[in-house]
A and B are shown apart, each in its own frame.
Chain A
């Protein structure tokens, strides 16, 4: 098991293998499962992601029980389809897939947590944007998820991936950094470029708070996943262009943990501060639960 990103990058360089390949071997060693069994299971996670994104964009989309979120992925894809957008095809595809997935999550539909349910739209956003642009095969998409999971394990073990512990930087921030690293690999970039993209993506989202209105995984979670996906694509392009993060990826993870420790509990998934604490956020809470809280 890799404890540091630097260690994992060095192993990939020494063995001339991809990070996806290295983590597949690690997983087999840990679980006792064969490579076929592990990749088959990852294919099934991928299938869940595809179904969720599709569900959120089909027909009228989905609506949550509270009716606070839903239908926005459909609006985005209609806007996208008419062709005249500011951010262009790749970004719009990422946005609509991210929103669709998180709307399904908010509506208590079936999703694949990656690394969490609140941040479950970020990876599919990036992945399905790359799928469309680069015609990725299912096997290549599984490699994307393997690479992302390798980076995610290092965050989870060195810092945290729970909003209650670290704020949204630990959820959407982590998902975005994982997606950025995997996007670089999908585009044929090196392991060290993946680490650079990871560092940029996570650095850019440090300090992001978890302030869910009424304690629900709806506002602002759905739109936060848009920023997770778009930030990942930008960070991947920065790394592919040869830009280097001055702070190494492993130290950025330590910085995320440091910020988490200094973050007040009102901003760590308690539904008290930030957007949850605004007059409108409070009104929504009272409206849903019917009591003056």
Chain B
């Protein structure tokens, strides 16, 4: 089992705008990750909160944190508390819902973030903020394809042919990066949506190498 907290800076850090590491900094991180998966600024943002997030998001600044993350503001950016106005200025539609049910991904600090663009690209990230600013993504939907994510970050999300996967795993093996788990969304199309959970983060250079074998690569 992969340890959830790996770095000393998961504990002494992040440097952030208050008031809550899980409900503010971690929430901003979830927003940033969702933006990374979409790959561009969205036109619509929908956030669904569960459990502790649903009860305390207003007091903890979770709304501005997630939206700020989506707008690529850093957790310690003094602009973070003003992200909702920033989104309004950019004509981004923001909808926030408090759900009464228990979390669909089994954690009290859960947010489902749905980002879409006109026309037609949509992603949904089901994430949780596990404490101290650390986050996990448990489910991803990309344009209708759904992935149950295999474990803690770092995770690579690939869109590639099944046949290219062997080459990608070989590159990771050669770089001595352990792949801890793998999950695939199988569909009719030739391209598959695949998530690989890694033991350690990979370099920019390695990402470039891998991206030659897939049509899309997101390193989370």
Contacts and interface: CB of A to CB of B under 8 A. Distances in A.
B97 interface: no
Given A109-B18, A116-B21, A162-B109, A145 B12 contact: yes
Contact of B21 (A1, A31, A113): A113
Nearest to B18: A105
A275 interface: no
Interface string A88-120: 000000000000000011111111111111101
Contacts of B131: 115-116, 156, 160-165, 170
A153 B22 contact: no
A107 B18 CA distance: 7
Nearest to B108: A164
B52 to A, nearest CB: 4
A237 interface: no
A265 B22 CA distance: 16
B52 A164 contact: yes
A157 interface: yes
**B contact face: mostly helix, strand, loop, or mixed:** mixed
Nearest to A266: B55
A215 B8 contact: no
A268 interface: yes
B61 interface: yes
B8 to A, nearest CB: 4
Contacts of B215: none
Nearest to B22: A162
B15 A156 contact: no
Nearest to B26: A162
A213 B53 CA distance: 15
A164 B19 contact: no
A265 B18 contact: no
Contacts of A223: none
A108 B11 contact: no
A265 B11 contact: no
Contacts of B9: 41, 45, 149
A63 interface: no
B6 interface: yes
Contact of B15 (A31, A111, A149, A153): A111
A177 B21 CA distance: 19
Nearest to A162: B131
Interface in B20-53: 20-22, 24-25, 51-52
Contacts of B6: 1, 30
Contacts of A113: 12-16, 21, 25, 132-133
B130 interface: yes
B12 A149 contact: yes
Contacts of B52: 164, 265, 268-270
Nearest to B5: A156
B3 A157 contact: yes
Contacts of B57: 215
A23 interface: yes
A178 B132 CA distance: 14
Nearest to B200: A30
Contacts of B18: 104-111, 117, 120, 217
Given A1-B3, A157-B3, A161-B132, A115 B25 contact: no
Nearest to A31: B7
Nearest to A217: B19
Contacts of A120: 18, 21
A259 interface: no
Contacts of B17: 108-110
A114 B17 CA distance: 13
A111 B18 CA distance: 7
Contacts of A216: 19, 59-60
Contacts of B22: 116, 162-164
B11 A149 contact: yes
A111 B9 CA distance: 14
Contact of B12 (A42, A106, A117): A42
Interface of B: 3-22, 24-25, 51-52, 55-61, 76, 78, 81, 108-109, 129-134, 200-201
Interface of A: 1, 3, 23, 26-27, 30-32, 38, 41-42, 44-45, 48, 104-118, 120, 123, 145-146, 148-150, 152-153, 156-157, 160-165, 170, 178, 212, 214-218, 265, 268-272, 288-289
Given A115-B21, A268-B108, A270-B51, 7 more contacts: A108-B81, A115-B12, A116-B22, A117-B20, A149-B11, A215-B56, A270-B55
